[in-house]
Structure formats: structure tokens, C-alpha cells
Amino acid sequence: AVEHLAAAGRYYAAAGNQVCAVGMTNSGLAYAYLLNRRYCEVIAPAETALAYFNGINHAFWSAINEAYLAEAWFYLADCEQAEHYAQSGLRREEPVVQPYCLYIMGQIRRVQERFVDARRFCHDALRAAEEIDDPWALAPAWLALAETERDARHVEEAEAAFAQAIAIYERLDVAQEIFYANELRNTLFAQ
């Protein structure tokens, strides 16, 4: 996918289509890297796309890239950067981005051991994902809640949340995410 996106970017650049050459191509690259958990590689294309979309005042695509950056920075263990981008994405009030930024805020509060706030963000993410009927946002929001409950030592609540996330990924038929969610679930029994 990365090679195809890069080739498409070159094509759009040659055709003079900067929206696709810079904005869309870099957004696509960032997303492809996120899907493969190549978080270090998300940063440069997402920042490039964000700068471009900010420059043309395109709030929707700016918010998308802020969500990508929030997730990448969280998994790179930089909660300060993750929170900066998640909060920025939330301020844009783009419904499609809200659940993603909210569950990252839940994850940030979880690692800070602020479990009440983490739960609140996770439940807000679940509501936001349900409002837009987005199972791709719903599943990671359930995972964030499951990890929060696990870390707060609420095993039954964690198990129920893991089961919800896994069931959604099974309906979506995404083997990589089913495996990842089960690996996280297994940490319940290692404590």
C-alpha cells in the first residue's frame, strides 16, 4: 500500500493536484503506517498533511491527521504530544474524529493512573462512536476501557470490555486486531 500511495502522490504532483499530492497522499501514508503499528513512520506524513490542511483551512482533514498523530505519539510513549494532538482534534468538533481522540485521551489518563478520568473519556468515546455508527472507533474504545479496568484491577469489567472489543473485530473480520485484542486480554490472567 505504501508504494502505491507514494506512486499516486508523484502522479498527482506531476498533474499539479496539490490537495491529493500533499494532503491526501500523506494522510493515506500515515493511516497505512498506523494500521501496521509502525508508529514512528506515522509522524512525518501526518505532520506534512496536517500543515497542508491547516494552510488551506480544511478542518476535517486537519482533525483526521491530528487523530493519527495523537495515536502514534501515545504508542510512542509521548503522552504530552499525544494529548496535544487529541485535544486539538477534539476542539475541531468533527464527529468522525471525536471517538478516536476521546479513546486516546482515555489511554493517556490510564497510563497516568487517573482511572476515573480514563473511564469517562472511554465512555465518551463509546457514545461518540455509537452516534456515528463507527465500529472501527467502537472496538478500540472498548479496548481502551478494558485496559483501564485491567490496570484499575477491575477484572470482571475488563473481561466484559475485552469481550465487546473482540466481538466487534470478529464481526469486522480483522484477524490482526482480533489477535492484538486477545493478546491484551491475556494480560488479565498474567497479573
Amino acid 189: pLDDT: 77
Task: Decide: 96 and 129 in contact? Cβ < 8 Å.
Answer: no
pLDDT tens-digit readout, 21-77: 667 888 899 999 999 999 999 999 999 999 999 999 999 999 999 999 999 999 999
pTM of the model: 0.90
Amino acid 23: pLDDT: 74
Amino acid 130: pLDDT: 98
Q: Which residues in the chain come in under a pLDDT of 50?
A: none
Amino acid 26: pLDDT: 85
Amino acid 11: pLDDT: 60
CA atoms within 13 A on the CB side of 43: 10
The cell numbers describing 72, all together, are: 502514534
Amino acid 4: pLDDT: 67
DSSP string for the chain = -HHHHHHHHHHHHHHT-HIIIIIIHHHHHHHHHHHTT-HHHHHHHHHHHHHHHHHTT-HHHHHHHHHHHHHHHHHTT-HHHHHHHHHHHHHTT-TTTHHHHHHHHHHHHHHTT-HHHHHHHHHHHHHHHHHTT-HHHHHHHHHHHHHHHHHTT-HHHHHHHHHHHHHHHHHHT-HHHHHHHHHHHHTTTT-
Amino acid 188: pLDDT: 84
Domains along the sequence of the chain with CATH = 95-191 (1.25.40.10)
DSSP string for 128-164 = HHHHTT-HHHHHHHHHHHHHHHHHTT-HHHHHHHHHH
